[in-house]
Chain A
Amino acid sequence: MDNHWIGRSAERVGGVDRVTGAQRYAADIRLENVLQVKLVSLDCARARLNAIDKRQAAKIEGVRCILTAGDLPGSPLGPTPRYGPTHADRPVLAVATATGAGMPSAPLPSPDEKFALAMAGRRFESIALKPTRRLALPRPDPAAGLGVSSAWSAMEIGDRGRQ
C-alpha cells in the first residue's frame, strides 16, 4: 500500500513560487491590447435607478460598449450576478433599487484609460434622503474625468491624499 504521506509533511502546492516571488497574482499579469473598464458608481447611499442614458457615453470615441445590470446573465441568487452568497444583497451592477454608495451602475470598456474616464449619464432618485430629487450629473468630460474617475486620476499622479 502506498503510504508515503505518513510521517512526512505535505508539500505546499505552489510553495516554491510563493517564496521566490515567481507566483503571479492577478495584479502581476500584464496583457497587451486590453480594454480598460471604467465602473460608473452611484454617489448616494440609497437610490432608485430610474434610467441609465447610455447615449452620451456611447458617443465618446474609443468606448466599445456600455454594460448595465440588464446586460448581465442571471445567476442562481437573482436576476443579476451577486458578490457571492455572503453578499446576496449586493448585485455586481446596480439594479432598480441600489443600496450602497459607490455601487457600480455601468462599466465602460475602452481601449484607452483616457476615454475610460467618461461617465454614463444616469438618472436616479435618492430614496432615504430626498425622495423626489433627481440628481443631475455634470456633462461627461473625457479629458478631465468626474466623480470617482477624478479620484482615480489623482491617485495616478501619486497624490493620494488629495481626494
Chain B
Amino acid sequence: MAVPAPDALEIYRTYHTNLRLDGHDAPDVMHAVADSLRVNGQAHSLEVHAHHTLLELLRDRLNLTGAKECCAEGECGACTVLLNGRAVNSCLILAVEADGEEVVTIEGLAANGRLDPLQSAFLEKGAVQCGFCIPGMIMAAKYLLATNPHPTVPEIQAGLAGNLCRCGGYSRIVDAVAAAAKAER
C-alpha cells in the first residue's frame, strides 16, 4: 500500500490552532498591514495571511514581480529587496514583519526614467544574460555600495555571495558593480 501523506487540511488546522494559542486572535489568520508599510515610497494598507512572506506580498498583492521567487528558502538571493535600507531575502521575511517599514524593490530604483548608476553599469558591462538573478544582484549591490562605497573585488564578491547566477555571469556582474562604484566616486 502506498502510505498516504499527512492530511493537508489537518496540518492547516493545527497551524491555525497554534497561531491562536500564541495569542493571535485575528479571524482566519489575516493580519492587517497598516498604511505605514511603504514600498518604493508609496504607502500601502492591506490584509495579509499571517504566513505570507514579504515576497508574496510584493509579487501577488502589489504586482511587483521584479523580485523573483526562485528557491523560496534564502539560498539564491533572487528575491532580494531593501528593508529599511538593508538587503534581505524577501522570501524569509513575513509580510507582517514589514509593517511600518520601508521597502525598496528593483522597480523603485530608476527615478523619472533615469536608470540607477548600478542599472546602467550592468547594461554597459554586459552583466545581464537571462536576467532572472539581476534584480536581486542589483539590490544586493545597492546595499553593498551604501555600506561600502568603494569595495575591492573580493569585497564585491563577498557582498554578492548570497546571490546566485545560473548563467554563471559572475565576472561581468562584479565588473559592473565595480564600475558603478567608480562612477559614483
Contacts and interface: CB of A to CB of B under 8 A. Distances in A.
B178 interface: no
A90 B166 CA distance: 23
Interface in A140-159: 143-151, 153-154, 156-159
11 contacts: A14-B131, A19-B106, A19-B128, A22-B66, A24-B65, A25-B65, A27-B69, A135-B1, A149-B8, A153-B9, A163-B5
A138 interface: yes
Contacts of A143: 9
A43 B1 CA distance: 11
State the 10 A-B residue pairs at the shortest beta-carbon distance, nearest first. A21-B66, A18-B131, A153-B8, A158-B51, A21-B106, A150-B5, A28-B65, A19-B119, A21-B135, A150-B8
A3 interface: no
Interface stretch (B82-90, B107-115, B146-154): B107-115
Contact of B52 (A117, A154, A158, A162): A158
Given A20-B109, A20-B119, A147 B5 contact: yes
Interface in B61-89: 63-69, 72-73
Contacts of B10: 144
Contact of A147 (B2, B109, B119): B2
Interface of B: 1-2, 4-12, 15, 49, 51-53, 59, 63-69, 72-73, 105-107, 109-110, 115, 119, 122-124, 126, 128, 131-132, 134-135, 138
Given A9-B124, A28-B65, 5 more contacts: A19-B119, A20-B115, A21-B135, A22-B66, A43-B2
A158 B53 contact: yes
Contacts of A137: 2
A20 B69 CA distance: 16
A159 B126 contact: no
